[in-house]
Chains A and B, each alone.
Chain A
């Protein structure tokens, strides 16, 4: 490989990452020399820059050759899809942050968001344990800073601290799992690892099971899977709202991309150690975790009074639904992987819309209580409409995109003969309806102390809510099939190892 290394064939695989680095430097310089009064414009520079970078994976798409940079990166269609998704999420986050009175005028905020996006974009295509670790930490460390961004606010620094403690611990466990995988095989490339397993561990699957569990700790933390979800509600509530939105979409999408890739590549269906088929093992494990995650998320969401905390538990439950799709990957059908990718795509727009609404609401009233949202439909009908679309999508009601998202996921489970899992997931979705619809009812029917106070929407928020609402409605109607087909092609690329 070294003999015929051609820089220009390897370049397209990392163009988004290179441009993100350039954008980070530009933002840094703008913050330094741009003058105080122009600080807020950095938000728009970052948002437009990120939106432009989100197009680059489409222009320089995956080619015949898929492994680049000495096996560090595998740039295939599924990586392309996730990169576009992640960078668009970051772009909308920056646009949203422009209206946050505490972080919006700080240039370094956008810088850190861009660096985190760089890490997220890297792990969407990572094909080597070293790359996975570096990418995950490039994503995580900036997020610790972002969560604690309001330094003088006790709740913000507390949330940063909790995020950091959980994150550092779980990445330590995951790293030990990596070192074991390397030790068994002498390989760090996740696509060649599994071939060396049988020779390494003979007939004893226990060491591999240990490594698998350690990996799941690290990934489970990132996607807020029960029992590694304890940080989620605290971080979602304490962190500045744009950060919460970012953690719930871009960070989660990237981590799921990585989880799917690593599970399929390192523990493939062909791997049988002794009597134990390791894929059956992780499928069973992930199924149980999916059930626990969605049930706990939904049950705890029922009694929340703070809208950000409610969305936190809702995001735990949503992670549980996605895990249903991950467990369904045992059928080796592209349908299940595609359903995961589609769900994360629609979830990106849905959650960004919901959090943009929450941001404007709490900026104007200073409250995050659900009961204070009473009469929102009279204070600003467009805001209430945008939030309603987002919440309907979270609840999975057509014509919002969440319906097709859940439909594909649960169909994948049924296709994989996991009917019980699908039934439990549907029951959970019904429980979740209750707390989602309550929010809508409060907005349209109830009254509150702020009833007479109208809420103004700035132009950037109008863009965010408008764009996400249109995307959600589009993905829930005409857009569903084309995007699902796109994801299915990506899934074939992932499964054809």
Chain B
């Protein structure tokens, strides 16, 4: 059975919204990162689905770059969490309130 492009886009939109809500509502830094990854992968899914729809490889190419960038981003993000945890013993983002005003 052929899955239509609309179904893919619907799924990617749902994933994207779930990710965005996760970023806005979650307080644990690791979970926030996972939500960001979900947003990026929702975009990836849309890109791949569109690439198939148009019968091209541009979308696939884009996805490879996004995956690479996301990997770099996670590496930096996790390092930042470790740095925060060393000084604060907490990764709750509500505890980040040294800087205010």
A169 touches B39 (CB 8 A): yes
Whether, in the assembled complex, A460 has its beta carbon less than 8 Å from a beta carbon of chain B, the answer is: no
C-alpha gap A176/B43 in the complex (Å): 5
In the bound complex, residues from chain B placing their C-beta under 8 Å from that of A183 are: 9, 46-47, 49-50, 53
Closest to A184 in B: B50
B residues 1-15 near A (Cβ < 8 Å) are 9, 12
In the bound complex, residues from chain A placing their C-beta under 8 Å from that of B81 are: 161
Whether, in the assembled complex, A162 has its beta carbon less than 8 Å from a beta carbon of chain B, the answer is: yes
B73 touches A168 (CB 8 A): yes
Chain B interface residue bracket vs A: 35 or more
A306 touches B101 (CB 8 A): yes
Whether, in the assembled complex, A490 has its beta carbon less than 8 Å from a beta carbon of chain B, the answer is: no
CB distance from A488 to the nearest CB of B (A): 35
- The majority secondary structure among interface residues of chain B is helix
B19 interface neighbour in A154, A165, A172, Cβ under 8 Å: A172
In the bound complex, residues from chain A placing their C-beta under 8 Å from that of B49 are: 183
Whether, in the assembled complex, A151 has its beta carbon less than 8 Å from a beta carbon of chain B, the answer is: yes
C-alpha gap A487/B13 in the complex (Å): 41
Contacts A152-B87, A172-B19 given: A145-B42 contact, CB under 8 Å? no
A residues 153-170 near B (Cβ < 8 Å) are 154-155, 157-162, 164-165, 168-169
A186 touches B87 (CB 8 A): no
C-alpha gap A309/B99 in the complex (Å): 10
B88 touches A175 (CB 8 A): no
* Max count, chain B CB within 10 A of own CB: residue among A137, A144, A168, A237: A168
Closest to B62 in A: A130
Closest to B68 in A: A134
B99 touches A179 (CB 8 A): no
C-alpha gap A82/B14 in the complex (Å): 39
C-alpha gap A237/B99 in the complex (Å): 7
Whether, in the assembled complex, A240 has its beta carbon less than 8 Å from a beta carbon of chain B, the answer is: no
Can you name 6 A-B pairs with beta carbons within 8 Å?
A133-B66, A137-B72, A137-B73, A172-B19, A178-B62, A188-B58
B residues lining the A interface (CB < 8 Å): 9, 12, 16, 19-20, 23, 29, 32-33, 36, 39-40, 42-44, 46-47, 49-50, 53-54, 56, 58-59, 61-62, 65-66, 69, 72-73, 76-77, 79-81, 83-84, 86-88, 93, 96, 98-101
Interface contacts beyond A162-B96, A172-B39: sample of 10 additional A-B pairs, CB < 8 Å, sorted by A: A154-B88, A158-B96, A165-B23, A168-B36, A169-B20, A172-B40, A179-B46, A180-B46, A187-B58, A233-B99
